[in-house]
Structure 1
Amino acid sequence: MIWLLTFLPAALALVLGVVMGVAPLPLHPAWSARVLAVIAVTTAVAVTGTLVFVGVNYAATLAPGVADRYLPEWALFGDDQPVHAAFGVPALALTALSVAVTARLAVRWTAEVRHAQRTARQVVESGVPMALAVPGRDGGVLVSRGLLRTLDSVELRVVFEHEAAHLRHRHHRYLAAGALAAGTVPVLRRLNARLRFALERWADEDAAEAVGDRTLVAHTIARVALARAEAESPPSSLPAFTDSGVVQRVQALLSAPPSKNTVTGPVLLAGVGTATGLLASAAWQLDHAFGLNIL
């Protein structure tokens, strides 16, 4: 059963990713988002790393001459116990699927950002109340005519402060990391949903600090969500003002502001990053770390 060690790092990372998809973190949304993003990325790396590792070794058993000539020693388990097809074929298939999903998501993301950048400097002629944070040098805050008609000047400031927070903290990178992790490892979808929610809460708290009125921010979020519900609006990969968890966001804003976690936040992030980073690294060559010939 020693071959099970090959899958141990990925299995442990998956368990952590699944648990973090349901277990609340007692942290400020900024630190919650950072922790969830790190877990999402390292779990995806651990899983795909294991698949690639097993797939490469299975391919090496099919063409040992080519493997001896072109593959480095560290990439191989050892050729005395070849990888069985029951593990090798699924590993190759899932690796190919992960590559295809990553490419599709990257193309979609790039197309959405470029389209949004072309219209970020003008008001979108749509009756749907909408505001998007568009990243990049040519980005900005994209708003619709419906949003301008729905809100007054004070509420519009809330929206712009919220979207400015997304841009200032580069939340699009967190969103891209979460989407890629969920796309390549489907069991991380709940973790990705929690990550998106944490990013919205992070921007909410920044907006509340900027305007100095948590109730106003809560009222604005609820008002935009109700107006938007009356019209269909296509989903986007970019951070939108009423992206997710409207009820929970409003409830949080009507409560006391969360602690900044200036000590516990960095400590927990460093611990999670170290632990999951080691799992991701071990997923590539665990057998060599212990001097074992696995499979």
Structure 2
Amino acid sequence: MIWLTFLPAALALTLGVALGAASLPLHPSWAARLLVTVAATTTVATIGTLVFVTVNYAATLFPRAAARLPEWALFGDDRPVPAALGVPATALTCLGAATAARLSARWAREVRRAQRISQGVVESDTPMALAVPGRDGGVLVSRGLLRALDRAQLRVVFEHEASHLRHRHHHYLALGALAAGTVPPLRRLNTRLRFALERWADEDAAEAIGDRTLVAHTIARVALAHSSRAPEPPPFPAFTGSGVVQRVEALLDTAPGKNTISGPVILGGAALATGLLVSSAWQLDHALGLTFL
């Protein structure tokens, strides 16, 4: 086993942490795509490396069973993996698997719950609107929202939520939540991802309506009305559930550039770089034949 086995995952994780701390000068749509790509590949590289070490530690404990494993699944040398490394890797692998299973089950449960009530108006005084994914989904609104907004403002809400559905933002949210749950250093990146998705939907609504100020005022009005009442946690992020002040400020400013060239270039470069890190997170010891232990 060599130290380069851990280097790709470490580099990917460093990139993920850096993007979680930095504000990206991109249109929200490209920022969200970049963040979710890095979140997904960093998670695969990190968890994959832990699984790799766990398999080799198991081979150390059970050498007869290891003889049945394919060569690519084992380190390039025959030195045993010490318990000081193997035990934490095994524990983290099991914890990651359990967390992923728990998050997946909870997400599926919340989707089914939201779909059951998405065909009508929620009898609640709390103003809220949700984009419920799936064939039986749609835009879920509360009676309080319908009373709080006029026709033009309601159109803002529906354009915003329609953007979430059209671009399948629930996939982004699921990947971000999975990354943050299994690799805790990616939590800030997930927070930025959720904010970028809301900004993406805001910009789509502003473009469809042609009035950025109306969109900003609608977000602020729903946020104020919501904060004055007892919170009722929805199964998905609410219309004003992430970075309300920053979103309003952005909408009252000029529209961001579309990044028709720089966006795809940056996303492609990040996807290529992190993809290479993921692929090289396995078997570098075979390629170079250098030992770490």
TM-score by length of 2: 0.97
* SS at 1:141 equivalent: strand
How many angstroms does 1:288 deviate by? 2.0
Provide, for residues 74-122 of structure 1, a one-character-per-residue CA deviation record: whole Å limited to 9, x for no partner.
Answer: 0100452111111100000000000000011001100110010011110
The letter of the residue matching 1:94 is L
Q: How does 1:70-81 map to 2 (within 5 A)?
A: 71-78=69-76, 80-81=78-79
Which has the larger displacement, 147-156 or 283-292? 283-292
Distance of aligned partners of 1:37 and 1:236 in 2 relative to their CA distance in 1, 3 Å threshold: farther
Report the counterpart of residue 154 of structure 1 in structure 2.
Answer: 152
Q: Is the 8 A contact 2:126 2:232 kept in 1?
A: no
Mapped contact 2:76–2:286 kept (Cα < 8 A): no
Match of 1:232 among 227, 230, 233: 230
Runs of 4+ in 1 over 3 A off after TM superposition: 234-237, 291-295
1:289 to partner: Cα distance: 2.9
Structure 2 counterpart SS, 1:21 = helix
Instruction: Tell me the equivalent position of 1:22.
Output: 21
**Partner Cα separation in structure 2 for residue 84 and residue 61 of structure 1:** 8
Q: CA deviation at 1:140?
A: 0.1
How far off is 1:232 after superposition? 3.0
Residues matched between the structures, number: 293
Secondary structure, counterpart of 1:232 in structure 2: coil
* Stretch moving more, 236-245 or 45-54: 236-245
Distance 2:264 2:235 in 1: 28
- Give the SS at the match of 2:281: helix
**Alignment root-mean-square deviation, CA:** 1.2
Q: Percent identity?
A: 72
1:171 alignment partner in structure 2 = 169
- Contact 2:9/2:46 (<8 A) preserved: yes
Q: 2:131 touches 2:138 (CA, 8 Å); kept in 1?
A: yes
- Equivalence for 1:31: 30
Per the alignment, residue 49 of structure 2 pairs with: 50
Distance 1:185 1:59 in 2: 23
Partner of 1:268: 266
- Secondary structure of the corresponding residue to residue 224 of structure 1: helix
1:192 aligns with 2:194: no
**1-structure distance, mates of 2:232, 2:88:** 35
Q: Are 1:204 and 2:188 an aligned pair?
A: no
Instruction: Give unmatched runs, 5+ long, in structure 1.
Output: none
Q: Please report how far the alpha carbon of residue 282 of structure 1 lies from its aligned counterpart in structure 2 after TM superposition.
A: 1.2
